A and B are shown apart, each in its own frame.
Chain A
Amino acid sequence: MPIKFAGEFEVQRGPEDVYAFLTDPNKFCPLLPEFRGVTVEDAEHFTVQVNVGVSYIKGVANVKLHLAESQRPSRAQFKGQGSVAGGNVSMVATFDLMSVESGTKVAWQGEAQVFGRLTSVSGGLLEPLGKKQVQKLIDGLQAALHAASGGTV
């Protein structure tokens, strides 16, 4: 079963700045929980490494991502595939940016599908764990954009 996430938040930055931040792997990727590193191939392709651990299963996820859809500054969609802890993951993450009075409203949605050992041995834990990690990412994103704006929320 695919794990689906969605939500929205607002930041005090204009859509152009937010878009630039979200599509820059060197800025965005370090916000991922358990981030280990990123290798940027070109403006639209990069590989991110994060630590993954569910209970006693621990490993490193290597996910190749590319900017599959780009409508500057209103929409960005990343698609990726990679290996994780003896299995594989495929994912899609979409950000829709809308200009609002206070800055930008970011509506985001993601879908991840995990294949292999991780699902087999800890399938029931994946969704809550994933949601927790996504929330960390969004919190980090908000904080980073806030800090970058130099203002207060």
Chain B
Amino acid sequence: MSVDGKGWVGKAVPRKEEDRLLRGRGKFADDIKLREMLYLRFVRSSYAHANIVSIDTSDAEKIPGVICTLTGSEIASQTQPFIEMAPDPGGKIQDYPLAISKVRYQGEPVAAVMAISPGIADDGAEAVQVEYAALDPVVDAEQALTDASILHEEAGTNKVWGGVFEYGDVEQAFREAASVIEIDRMHFHRFSSTPLENNVVIAQWDPKDERIYYSCNNSFPSFAIQFLAAHLNVHIDRIRVQTSDIGGSFGIKITSYPQMAVCALASKKAGGRPIKWVETRSEHMISSAHGNERTFRDTRVALDKDGVITAITSRHIDDCGAYPRYEPLGCVIWSQVFPGVYRFKNARIDFSQAVTNKCPVGPNRGYSRMQHLWFLERVVDICAHELGIPADEMRLRNYIRPEEFPYTTPNGCIYDSGNYPKMLEVAKQLIGWDAWKKKQAEARKEGRMLGIGIGTTLDSGTNNFGQAQIVNPGAPFSGNSQGANCKLDIYGEVVVAVGSCPQGQGHETTAAQVVADVLNINPDLITVRTGFDTERNVHTGFSGTYASQFAVSGLSAVHGAAQKLKAEMKRLAAFVLKSKEEDLEFGVGGQGPEVRSKSNGKSINYWGMANIVNVNSAVLPVEMHDVTLNCRYIWRAPFKVPDIKRKYGNLTMTYASQLHIAVVEIDRETFIPKILDYVAVDDCGTVINPPIVEGQVYGATAHGIGAALLENCVYDSVGNMLTSTFSDYIPITAMNMPTVKYGHIETPSPHSYSGAKGMGEGGAAPIHTISAALQDALFDKRIFIDDSFNNPDSLFRALKGEIGRADDIVKVERRA
């Protein structure tokens, strides 16, 4: 038990992972070296859109040390195309891990070379001759929807998916509106995550047992094996995936399954020798996965006389890059936060997704929801600005009120808990709102461009995968689940295994805290297995680490497994100690963790119990043979399948919220936007481990600030990616990260056993917040921030009148 007797959940327990990671003792996929291992290098397309005329690997194969090569046509002859989650026409897309007759984005793999060293594999890849016939590229999603140049002929269109999400009475709301504001176009830019560790795959197709062994850093392995088994024509149980420490994923590593497929097939061709592929940074930038880019057209907002939004209509076009892969799930996932933190009930969003000749997208931190939340926050700020309502007041008039929770959104999602006005109050206090307002007024007198922006967002966690049926009624998914195992090992050690796949989120620590509270022992006495392994048999089809869910799904599974173990231990101890179960108590005695009887004072330690069950079982009566002290538990979320026709239902279990405030000044000479002050307030319900939560808030804030000001995946008109290195794509680091003031409130979730909510994605709050601050800085110049990416160049162009001219973007109709 903890010193204060209140349990370990909620305590700042030092991270169990820290010791090995900070001392360089972490074990990452690239640390693994196997006998006879070969190194794989991809030959990648330099064209964004072209037919492949020929591929000649003969020169590469002559290089000493090159063992073999692999091309798309070889793969096509022995595999199936990857499963597509879209219905037709998107479902007709044929996606193979190496291009077969056509390339569709710059960097697409067209061949692979396997050699005895990475250097020789590089030389081999350089020697592969590929002749292309260039085709017209499409790099803009709106242009793609015209189908002037089609990427996937088998689909017959570039449109992957389209649907209208309509709720309430939109027409009536517009008829009754006191003012109507129209916004022509806004754009959420494309950026990625740049984890410290790039993708790594080690694969072995063992000819002896016809099994495929993976060591890798994919962050959603149970999803990957479902795609791989169908693609490779193997039974899913023949694929083993192991992960160990992972140097960040942020969702981007979910879609590494195509590379995993190539490595397995390369191993098969190489006679079962293990194949290692370590992605370079440039490869990661051009061809791993980017976040979704989205354009918002023809937005109309109805407001009442007090500036309360009553309806929104808009047309959203999502750019998923060359292959849908995890898409079109993003076409519905945004609707988990359909109204954001606001009360409007009437809305119609016409949503389309198109393929373009750019890197495929993946579920980047804040996946699909951040684009929509940015859109809503821009709508709120633009309306506030046009109606002359202060940004904080506008929000207070439109926020869902604390007394309305649990709150049902127009599309049937149930927001569990929250208090947005309170968060605003805390954030304003932390930043010194009134003092900054005074400084801002003084700065404006001097002609300085200083703005204060608010961003309020949601981090919806623990998906209902039934929402996949909204985009594809045939999708065989619904609900959500996670597995865990809790056991007393043969010598009585408490060992926990979870189906998650942590990349720095501290799962080992928080899982130990939960089990420690159940068994009333110290977390140090609990071993939580590192990484993921299909052979631990604790995974379900949803296992992995993504979508802000471990605190709910993962820890609920751990809690369930620990409770099962505790129940078995009680039965066993009652038998051994000749005591009633209700007289037993758990704790730590002179011989370590134990169970003792309050009625007779006898006790048995964990070693004793494990000994009886595992190696001294003759003493156990037959009626206790079901006691294993090895307890697997599958937690299932209490979801229902959504109403597919109405696109209505509860899509997510918990809604953490974030409120950020930024003070930003645009330099009048250089146009560099400088953050002068920054506050991040978080509400993720009951906090399990405060430093871990705080760390994730800082991480998400850094990610968002980088995206808002530094990180942009730029393509030229023919599909060349112009930001494929850190010279041009500038990631945020400790060197360019401003100081962040952190605050939090706790509104416990009624939907999780502990009151905790999933967190860590942060809703990309800084993107909204910085856009709002820049908007405020330019308030008197009739410039609107209509893009989520703003660097000195774009601000310079805006101030020159080339972009962002309010009169081109916004129209206001006042009726009352």
Real binding pair: yes
What chain A residues lie within 8 Å of B727 (beta carbons)?
121
Within 8 A of B (CB), among A1-32: 1-2
Question: How far, in whole Å, are A90 and B48 apart by their CA atoms in the complex?
Answer: 14
How many residues of chain A get a CB closer than 8 Å to chain B's CBs?
16
Question: How far, in whole Å, are A88 and B48 apart by their CA atoms in the complex?
Answer: 11
Q: Which of A36-44, A100-108, A110-118 contacts B (4 or more CB under 8 A)?
A: A110-118
| A86, CB-defined interface residue at 8 Å | yes
User: Which interface class (under 10, 10 to 19, 20 to 34, 35 or more) fits B?
Assistant: 20 to 34
Question: How far, in whole Å, are A83 and B134 apart by their CA atoms in the complex?
Answer: 13
Q: List 9 A-B contacts (CB under 8 A).
A: A87-B46, A88-B46, A88-B132, A114-B720, A115-B48, A115-B720, A119-B722, A123-B720, A123-B722
Question: How far, in whole Å, are A115 and B129 apart by their CA atoms in the complex?
Answer: 15
What chain B residues lie within 8 Å of A71 (beta carbons)?
none
Which residue of B is nearest A59, CB measured? B126
- The residue from A1, A117, A123 contacting B46, defined by CB atoms under 8 A apart: A117
- The residue from B45, B129, B282 contacting A120, defined by CB atoms under 8 A apart: B282
User: Most chain-A CB neighbours within 10 Å: which of B134, B716, B720, B727?
Assistant: B720
Residue pair B282, A116 in contact (C-beta under 8 Å): no
Residue pair B106, A121 in contact (C-beta under 8 Å): no
Question: How far, in whole Å, are A134 and B720 apart by their CA atoms in the complex?
Answer: 23
**20 additional A-B residue pairs with CB within 8 Å, beyond A90-B134, A115-B47, A115-B134:** A83-B129, A88-B46, A88-B47, A116-B45, A116-B106, A116-B720, A117-B46, A117-B724, A119-B716, A119-B722, A120-B106, A120-B282, A120-B721, A120-B722, A120-B725, A121-B282, A121-B725, A121-B728, A123-B720, A123-B722
Of all A-B residue pairs in the complex, the 5 with the closest CB atoms, nearest first, are A116-B46, A120-B724, A87-B46, A119-B720, A115-B46
| B717, CB-defined interface residue at 8 Å | yes
A133 CB, nearest partner CB in chain B, Å: 20
Question: How far, in whole Å, are A67 and B680 apart by their CA atoms in the complex?
Answer: 64
- The residue from A113, A115, A120 contacting B286, defined by CB atoms under 8 A apart: A120
User: Most chain-B CB neighbours within 10 Å: which of A88, A113, A119, A120?
Assistant: A120
What chain B residues lie within 8 Å of A117 (beta carbons)?
46, 282, 724
Interface string of B269-313 (1 = CB under 8 A from A): 000000000000010001000000000000000000000000000
Question: How far, in whole Å, are A90 and B718 apart by their CA atoms in the complex?
Answer: 12
Given known A116-B46, A121-B724, contact A1–B106 (CB-CB < 8 A) = no
Within 8 A of B (CB), among A31-86: 83, 86
Question: How far, in whole Å, are A88 and B47 apart by their CA atoms in the complex?
Answer: 8
A61 CB, nearest partner CB in chain B, Å: 12
Within 8 A of A (CB), among B703-757: 716-725, 727-728
Question: How far, in whole Å, are A87 and B129 apart by their CA atoms in the complex?
Answer: 11
Question: How far, in whole Å, are A123 and B286 apart by their CA atoms in the complex?
Answer: 15
Question: How far, in whole Å, are A2 and B716 apart by their CA atoms in the complex?
Answer: 10
- The residue from B282, B718, B728 contacting A115, defined by CB atoms under 8 A apart: B718
Residue pair A1, B724 in contact (C-beta under 8 Å): no
Interface string of B232-259 (1 = CB under 8 A from A): 0000000000000000000000000000
Residue pair B47, A1 in contact (C-beta under 8 Å): no
Question: How far, in whole Å, are A90 and B126 apart by their CA atoms in the complex?
Answer: 19
What chain B residues lie within 8 Å of A114 (beta carbons)?
720
Question: How far, in whole Å, are A79 and B724 apart by their CA atoms in the complex?
Answer: 29
Question: How far, in whole Å, are A2 and B719 apart by their CA atoms in the complex?
Answer: 12
- The residue from A2, A86, A116, A120 contacting B47, defined by CB atoms under 8 A apart: A116
Which residue of B is nearest A116, CB measured? B46
- The residue from A1, A83, A86, A121 contacting B717, defined by CB atoms under 8 A apart: A1
B786 CB, nearest partner CB in chain A, Å: 24
Question: How far, in whole Å, are A121 and B198 apart by their CA atoms in the complex?
Answer: 19
B44 CB, nearest partner CB in chain A, Å: 8
Interface string of A123-134 (1 = CB under 8 A from B): 100000000000
What chain B residues lie within 8 Å of A113 (beta carbons)?
718
Which residue of A is nearest B724, CB measured? A120
B629 CB, nearest partner CB in chain A, Å: 56
Question: How far, in whole Å, are A119 and B722 apart by their CA atoms in the complex?
Answer: 7
A141 CB, nearest partner CB in chain B, Å: 28
What chain B residues lie within 8 Å of A120 (beta carbons)?
106, 282, 286, 720-725
What chain B residues lie within 8 Å of A123 (beta carbons)?
716, 720, 722
B757 CB, nearest partner CB in chain A, Å: 40
Question: How far, in whole Å, are A113 and B720 apart by their CA atoms in the complex?
Answer: 10
B49 CB, nearest partner CB in chain A, Å: 10
A33 CB, nearest partner CB in chain B, Å: 22
Question: How far, in whole Å, are A56 and B290 apart by their CA atoms in the complex?
Answer: 27
A82 CB, nearest partner CB in chain B, Å: 10
Question: How far, in whole Å, are A117 and B723 apart by their CA atoms in the complex?
Answer: 11
Residue pair B725, A1 in contact (C-beta under 8 Å): no
User: Most chain-A CB neighbours within 10 Å: which of B126, B134, B716, B728?
Assistant: B716
What chain A residues lie within 8 Å of B716 (beta carbons)?
1, 119, 123
A63 CB, nearest partner CB in chain B, Å: 13
What chain A residues lie within 8 Å of B728 (beta carbons)?
121
Residue pair B725, A86 in contact (C-beta under 8 Å): no
Question: How far, in whole Å, are A117 and B286 apart by their CA atoms in the complex?
Answer: 10
Question: How far, in whole Å, are A116 and B134 apart by their CA atoms in the complex?
Answer: 13
Residue pair B46, A86 in contact (C-beta under 8 Å): yes
Question: How far, in whole Å, are A117 and B282 apart by their CA atoms in the complex?
Answer: 9
Residue pair A86, B126 in contact (C-beta under 8 Å): yes
What chain B residues lie within 8 Å of A83 (beta carbons)?
129
Which residue of B is nearest A64, CB measured? B131
Question: How far, in whole Å, are A94 and B71 apart by their CA atoms in the complex?
Answer: 37
A124 CB, nearest partner CB in chain B, Å: 8
A122 CB, nearest partner CB in chain B, Å: 9
A60 CB, nearest partner CB in chain B, Å: 11
Question: How far, in whole Å, are A117 and B129 apart by their CA atoms in the complex?
Answer: 15
B205 CB, nearest partner CB in chain A, Å: 29
A1 CB, nearest partner CB in chain B, Å: 5
Question: How far, in whole Å, are A113 and B134 apart by their CA atoms in the complex?
Answer: 11
What chain B residues lie within 8 Å of A116 (beta carbons)?
45-47, 106, 720
A142 CB, nearest partner CB in chain B, Å: 32
B545 CB, nearest partner CB in chain A, Å: 31
What chain B residues lie within 8 Å of A87 (beta carbons)?
46
Question: How far, in whole Å, are A145 and B228 apart by their CA atoms in the complex?
Answer: 63
Question: How far, in whole Å, are A1 and B717 apart by their CA atoms in the complex?
Answer: 6
Interface string of B97-141 (1 = CB under 8 A from A): 000000000100000000000000000001001001010000000
